[in-house]
Amino acid sequence: MEAYKPMRKITRDKRGVMGLSTAQAFVIGLLSLVIIGVLTIIVLNSLNDTSVLPASSVGANATNDIISNTSAGLVTFFTNTGTWLTLLSVVVIILIIAAVIVVVNKFSGDTQGSL
C-alpha cells in the first residue's frame, strides 16, 4: 500500500485542472511576441535613422521597404489577437463549467453512497 501514496498525491493535485496554466502560457507567449515585434520595429527605425546610407540609395530604399513590410506584417498578425483571446476565454469558461459539473457529480455521488 505504501507504493501507491505518490500516485494518490498526483491524482489529488488539481493545479492547472481548469486550463488556467494553458491560458497563462498563451498570454505570456502573446506578450512576448508583442515585445519582439515592437523591438524589431524600433531597431529597424534606428537603422533607418543612422544616415549610414545616402537618402536615395538602393540600400536606403531597401531598408524602408523592410521597415514597411515588417510593420504591415506585425499589424496583420496582431489584428487577430482579439479573436484568439475570445476563443481562449471561451475554452476557459467551458473548462470551468466542466470542473463544476465534475465537483457536483462527485458530491452528489458521495451523498447517495452514504445513505
DSSP 2: G
Q: Give the confidence band of 6 by pLDDT, cuts at 50, 70, 90.
A: low
Report pTM.
0.54
pLDDT at 109 over 80: no
What's the mean pLDDT when you consider all of the chain?
A: 76
Interval 71-93 mean pLDDT: 85
Domain assignments of the chain as residue spans, ordered by start: 18-110
More confident residue, 31 or 64: 31
More confident residue, 16 or 65: 65
**What percentage of the chain carries pLDDT values higher than 70?**
72
Interval 71-80 mean pLDDT: 85
For cell 511576441, what's the residue?
Answer: 33
> How many residues in the chain?
115
Main-chain dihedrals φ then ψ at residue 8, nearest 5 degrees: -65, -40
